Structure 1
Amino acid sequence: MDAHGGHYLNKEAVLSPLGAARMCQLLFGSSIMALVSHGAGYGATYGYFCMFAWCFCFAVTLVVFSLDITRLHVCMPISWDNLTVAFAMLATLMYVTASVVYPVYFLEADCPDEGCEEQAYRIAVTVISGVSVFPYAAEVFITRAKPGAVVGYMATVSGLLKVVQGFVACIIFGALDNYGEYDNYVATEYCVVVYGLCFSVTVLVVILTISGRTSSLRFPFDRFVIIYTFVAVILYLSTALVWPIFSFDKKYGLTDRPEVCPRGQCPWDSKLVVAVFTAVNLVLYFVDLIYSQRIRFVTSAAV
């Protein structure tokens, strides 16, 4: 017992729906790592990404769970609620991606007799990875902003969208690095600058929110977010038009996928991934702009 008569350990970290979700995250995460290291295996860039995603999410979840149950997070100079909901959103996205990438590159329709045991392990990893998405999504659902409740910015729709935008930008960077051929034209280099600029500012917004330093800005944080999101919509709209033209127009590139183009090393595939996720991020920033206006309106009304 402490001086105020409270318990040192936080029972709610275990006996609440949020605690149950985190324990499921730890259980599934440890099971995946055990299966992969024991018999499923991994390799190449895609396999290393999947293993990194599972290990990273497990490690951070373990730290979050430990700090919550011991109440030590109150000693940290951060916004705990903003940090945990942002991580839960990121982990959901990472698990979804790993659950798609791993079977695509490591599962085969048929397996030789000596390789069926390894195939069974990989199927188990794929299933558990897919199931693991739900505990992280449940944490996001539990801690998200609810009508009339006072919560951190990262728990709002706009805050969660910031995490998704940053994750989508990482997918774009990965495609650009994998035979993206973005340095062929000035226009495509401009697109890369836009991706980098928007990603940097989005990460800055998340860091300022988690660290509780939003008041350090020289102007209101909500106004900064709205102005930045509006600019990001305009910039992404320009890239959504420029990138496909300089990648797939017959004057600058190939309209159809080449017949001889190995999977995973095909510039045309990488360009297509960039084009698709550029459109995805454009939609995300546009939706973010709408919800940012709503947050500003509620805040103004409350004052």
Structure 2
Amino acid sequence: LGSSHYIMDPQTGPYLNKRALCSPLGAARMCQLALGCAVIALIAHGAGYSGSHGEFCMAAWCFCFSMTVVIFFLDATRLYSCLPISWDNFTVTCAAFATLMYVTASVVYPLFFVRSECPYEGCHVRDFRIAVTVCSILGSVSYGAEVALCRAKPGQAVVGYMATVSGLLKVVQGFVACIIFGALANRSEFSRYEATIYCVAVYSFCFALTAVVVLLTVCGRTKSVLCMSFERFVVVCTLLEVLLYLSASVVWPVFCFDSKYGTPERPYHCARGKCPWDSKLVVAVFSFVNTILYGADLMYSQTVRFVSTRFPTAPRV
């Protein structure tokens, strides 16, 4: 019988990626996992949640925790090299999105579930909910730390577009658009006028265009788009989005709050959370917010130059 002989090749490294743990980025992800697990355990043990707001917070924490588990596992085992995506773009996009989700949950949960007085269930429930809020805030910081660690520095050759300020703004724009869609779905009465239907079409088109840019970068398809370079394509798309959002930011308030078409002041008999006027106000405010974000994106994207790649790259730290 023959025997097998194993030879240690000095040219190859270990199978597991030590930097997934022994690095600032690895430490940030370990904190994300620990805090995410703590939040879910506290909710299940005694803090609890209810209603649509509680379900949103729980869904956000569970989704971010699951996403971090997958990213950490793929990074530690180097299996990300088997995926047809740009790993740097993918991870920084996920970290930026998770930061926004955690920040939102960190505001919504204490606003609806934490009270200074003890609820009927007892003071231990309030204490659990305070602990959930603290862990959620710390989770926001840990995800924000990952974004800061992966963000492209001035003068640095940029491999991942999503690591630039322009790329990160794309994630924020998409998140703000989701808030707008949520408000539109909540009794906004947008179908009342053709002008407000036009605004909804603008929000949908701009969101789809932003999603296309993000998907192209995550998939590493950044050499050229149609008949132009990817950088020029991004600038053209952003300029179009600025113009469309600017028009919607003017049209929507006119047809919702002008006395000829809508109601300038909030009706006194409207129940909170179920009032169309509130939803219209949310859409108007976040339309202006996204207009500013797209404008900032347009100004910054003028100077972005990066090295495009279709292959997964190793983490920076």
Normalised TM-score (structure 2): 0.91
Shift of 1:105: 1.6
**d(CA) in 1 for partners of 2:92 and 2:244?**
28
Give the counterpart of 1:83 among 90, 103, 118.
90
Shift of 1:263: 1.8
1:72-120: per-residue Cα shift (whole Å, max 9, x none)?
Answer: 1111110000000011100000001011111112223433453322222
Aligned to 1:231: 240
Letter in structure 2 aligned against 1:165: Q
Letter in structure 1 aligned against 2:84: P
Deviating above 6 A after TM superposition, structure 1's stretches of 4 or more consecutive aligned residues are none
Aligned to 1:153: 161
Matches within 5 A, 1:108-147: 108-112=115-119, 114-147=121-154
Aligned to 1:35: 42
Compare the two structures and name the one with the higher helix fraction. Answer: 1
Deviates further, 43-52 or 194-203 = 43-52
Give the counterpart of 1:294 among 293, 303, 306.
303
Normalised TM-score (structure 1): 0.95
Structure 1 residue 269 and structure 2 residue 278: aligned? yes
- Unmatched 5+ stretches in structure 2: 1-7, 309-317
Q: CA RMSD in A?
A: 1.7
Structure 1 residue 64 and structure 2 residue 78: aligned? no
- Unmatched 5+ stretches in structure 1: none
Structure 1 residue 19 and structure 2 residue 26: aligned? yes
Structure 1 residue 213 and structure 2 residue 216: aligned? no
Aligned to 2:201: 193
Give the counterpart of 2:55 among 48, 54, 60.
48
In the alignment of these two chains, the number of paired residues is 299
Question: Which gives a bigger RCO, structure 1 or 2 (Cα 8 Å, sep 6+)?
Answer: 2
Deviates further, 117-126 or 192-201 = 117-126
Deviates further, 156-165 or 252-261 = 252-261
Aligned residues with identical type, % of pairs:
62
**d(CA) in 2 for partners of 1:225 and 1:115?**
54
**d(CA) in 2 for partners of 1:173 and 1:120?**
34
Indicate conservation of the 8 Å contact 1:2/1:8, yes or no: no
**d(CA) in 1 for partners of 2:193 and 2:244?**
18
Structure 1 residue 255 and structure 2 residue 267: aligned? no
Shift of 1:296: 5.0
Shift of 1:217: 2.1
Letter in structure 2 aligned against 1:266: C
**d(CA) in 1 for partners of 2:27 and 2:271?**
44
Cα distance change on mapping 1:2 and 1:182 into 2, 3 Å: farther
